[in-house]
C-alpha cells in the first residue's frame, strides 16, 4: 500500500537507535524511549497561504529529521509503524 500525505504533512519512519548496554544492565523494550529521529518516506505538496498560493516544503522524501517527543500521529501500514507529522513539528534536518 502506498500513502501520499496532504498539504504540509510528512510520513516518517522512526530510525531505531542501536542498543547500548550500560554497566551490564539491559533495558527492556517497554522501558525505552521512542527515538526522535526518523527518515521522511513521503511528503505533501506544500502549505497554502491565505491568498491561495502554494508554499513548497523545505523537507523532502529521503531526508533524516529530528522531531519532538510527542509529535505526530502514529499509524500502521502493512505491519510497519509510521508517523504522520506536520512540517512545523520538524526540529531540524540531519546532514
CATH number at residue 39: 2.30.33.40
Q: Is residue 78 part of a domain?
A: yes
> Is 59 inside any structural domain?
yes
Residue with cell 531526508: 63
Residue 42 lies in a domain: yes
For residue 1, being part of any structural domain is answered with no
Q: Give, as one character, the DSSP assignment of residue 25.
A: B
Q: What is the domain extent for residue 74?
A: 9-16+29-94
Whether 80 maps to a domain, the answer reads yes
Q: What does the pLDDT look like over 14-52, one tens digit per residue?
A: 887 655 566 666 666 565 566 689 999 999 999 988 998
Measured over the CA atoms of residue 19, residue 25, residue 29 and residue 33, the dihedral's sign is negative
Q: pTM score > 0.85 for this model?
A: no
Q: How many CA atoms lie within 13 A of 75 on its CB side?
A: 16
Number of domains in the chain: 1
Amino acid at each position: 500500500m502506498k500513502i501520499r500525505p496532504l498539504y504540509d504533512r510528512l510520513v516518517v519512519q522512526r530510525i531505531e537507535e542501536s542498543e547500548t548496554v550500560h554497566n551490564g544492565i539491559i533495558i527492556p523494550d517497554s522501558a525505552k524511549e521512542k527515538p526522535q529521529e526518523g527518515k521522511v518516506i513521503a511528503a505533501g505538496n506544500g502549505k497554502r497561504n491565505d491568498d491561495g498560493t502554494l508554499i513548497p516544503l523545505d523537507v523532502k522524501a529521503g531526508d533524516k529529521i529530528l522531531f519532538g517527543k510527542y509529535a505526530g500521529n502514529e499509524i500502521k501500514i502493512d505491519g510497519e509503524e509510521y508517523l504522520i507529522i506536520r512540517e512545523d513539528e520538524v526540529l531540524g534536518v540531519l546532514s
